[in-house]
Structure 1
């Protein structure tokens, strides 16, 4: 992306296409191939080829009724690029489009041109900018709209109030601002606008929804209160404008430093407090080629390339998304080096002096499995944190969203390596941040990045001292541990609980329902594992068939046992983080030194499980448990990454 920080904002001003092109008649096959051409990284659409003699209705992700294309289910396929609405407009019977869990970016696609659509699912992408106010005026058939987990900004379109058939509306995890519409569609039964920047008082028409649907909007009041501000103290700016203006301000400050000081060093401006700079001495070529040696030392290898504010100001920028703690932007320097700038909204518990001390403490951490911040900027309203950009992305994305080469590489040795690295990093944090009530606080697969060699890197740790209790309970995963839900008490054992879910997630390949803000979607891995074990079944039944090799099943079973021990409801009966790390180290060491025969995949059949000692009845029961827990509408699910 060759834009500067200002360019994404300018792009938002471009008008949307408002009229259909005069398209020549074409076949469904040609229209699907046309749509595919607008995608990047479309390896998972291998059936979409001119040489495929099958009818388009047999192609992956294409839904038909009586030979007519009525839906496209392309969620979680690692797609990037654009969504060509011209190609979609060929399908006159199209009623559902699902592009959730991909990496599409840019303004809202022009779906308003497809007036017959009933369901739109574009959750968990990187769409950004305002949605035109009249966007939904002609979409009279629309029933389900899921925009959550993007970076949409500006007011919620008032035209949604006139969508009389709308039943589901999910806007959570964006940057929508302003007030809620005064009226609600009469059929609306599922609604969520949490984790935005809305203000005002929730209108009475929206009071039929639980207060949790409006959580984490600092100036939005469910009920008007005398001592709580329900309006911003100043005119609200869209996040894109706000972010741009902040950096313009920093540029002015930097210029003042240049004028005032003869000793100003070129390319090194201290408006950003730089911390842990040794970890950023990386040549751009090393960063882009993935040649850094993450496994040998904390941080990155030697060389030149320290960044400064001037470099950051000239960087190309890309919105990566938003989550419970704020928004993230990727910035690419002219040298080719890349960083991630996180804009944190709710770190308001401490003043600047304490914030400086705590951030420098985090910046001094050195461990192969911990990614420290490089720099930060303090403002009362928000803070900017700078991290190194890790191209492969998060474990959550590679395990559940990407279906390309990275996902295929998640065999058993790689997953064991990831589990060991996560435990090592978490144990280190528990040692170095022992004075913090819960040293990580937000341990989940979305906060585990993967280096080029799949070595895990923990991020978003140690933030608890910066957050007020109400903010922490809403945004940090440790607050979902059983003891916290019972008594609002967190401890280092809360991190152990989170690690247990991570281990079960790695072993089963299932997305945990515990990551969601509601009970809709995902798999209850804790219930699944505990029920299978309690009913006498072999927990090996729960393993992801993609990693099962006969020679390693016993090791997988042992790691599953560690995970189950970590999610023990009573924190006193859970092992400590150091003990967990030691158990996984022993398991990994034994697996590495054991002389094994070339692995033979174990087929995912009843006979294979019988060979592993699983009775037919318990196997069928465990499968039934998992299927019931995981069953959900493919297009209705959503999850937030923070």
Structure 2
């Protein structure tokens, strides 16, 4: 009886604890219970007492809904719980390189928004459920290096957004589903190697015009002839058909031409070029010979009659002479190349070198100085370039990571990217095409990468190719200052900032500007400072972003706004930037408000001035103190925030009319607010000469009492 009561009490306590977790947390805890071994303690912080699972290891949320489960290479042992299918917003599952076993539950595919399912390197078995066809948004399916068996379900061809399909090293059998190529036309990667697929190779694979790299059908049991339609694949694609049961002549068209014999070995029934065994019809028309066929009367005799042909010794001598000549030419070319091209050893005065990524082979890209403007033609396949010794990821990891769009603007799209090891980055894509001034871009971006300050967003790496330019930054998690002051569009409720936090942000932004103006390698002008370009970190510490972004976008061929182009130095030197994942969906970043943060003289001045940033900073202070937008409705007319403040001062309105009503709880700090208000009005003076320097502004703010724990 006592044992029963103890058991009942234990279960009641457990129920009470679990009930504190939302439904998605309960589903993930069910997955945790299916894990029998967790040697690295990866799931140790999956606590039943948390309200949501969003802080758990391997979990990524968007608006408090689970969108990603990523726990690779953690030696987890157990099976895959069907409860994951109840996560309605689940987009990415990455459990690669663990020790998971069992089959895939059909209920997993109830998460119909799933975009990537990466399970390779485990011990899963059984068939691929028919329900996989429910995943209309599936982009990546990688089940490689497991023990799956059975035929591929015919429903797989319903996943028409599929781009990456990896089934290597399993036990799949049977033919490929009907209309495989016609439906999956977006496929970019296809690896079916090391299985037991049989039947003929579908002719409709020729429709896969987006394929890249290697199409690997090797080590299977495909039979019949090679369809000529495979020649319709992109010519850069390598088609690996080794070790199957294919027969007949190898088609000589498109992507199948000049592939060499290594793509076809292990198929004894294949014949024709590039293999040595000729097809029977060819053998009759072209009998094997070590020498070219020459007519018996070639060359004609001097007397015009049918003289003797060249002797075998003569032909051998000609061939040997040709071989020796080719070798000599090759040695000369090698000697000239070694003299001209010494890349990989850094730059020298005669040219430049470009070293490709750390995990790729080094490729020497040589050109003369007068050709440097066309460098991008030589670096089309440039790898990720780290700007920090602590960068531990490469391009492949970045491209395979889970990505979520944070916002779009005229200067590209910003993504939140979650790497497999849980590191979160912000990636700005600057777009495709346009001006190809790589050296200029490289100079700008590497100078930006040297900026290191707690209140300036850090640029960690960049990527350049002819078709793609990426900037990779630290991710800053708490959105931007505009959203913190006014809330996000569409969300009625938000938590106002206390005076303590506001003062902390004001001081942090001032410190960041002092660094840019005085302490950085060059004296910079931001030129586009506004609340949407001030990001907020874990502890609400401010970080200035989007510094010089317009300059880089212009070099990369983007279409920056007018004000973004002004992100340059105060001295006539090259401009720079720093950027990150600002939440561009806030109304304060709209073009209609952007100009109100700019100093009045900006449109007239030719040379940029740090006084521009000081005016913008003053506007930000006014917005934080009053809680108002840069443009205010006054009766039937509109007035900018600076003129509205001047009007309030002239009319001697009470302070309560000016301050943000959300600051009423900090009424005891009114004197500090008035002091900051005076600083703001000095910064926002219409006369640049009357504005203080950022150093003086910071000194004045530092004299205010230090904010207590916020």
Q: TM-score range with shorter-chain normalisation?
A: 0.3 to 0.5
Which of 1 and 2 has greater Rg?
2
> What's the TM-score, normalizing by structure 1?
0.43
Quick one: higher RCO (CA 8 Å, sep 6+), 1 or 2?
1
Query: TM-score, structure 2 length as denominator?
Result: 0.39
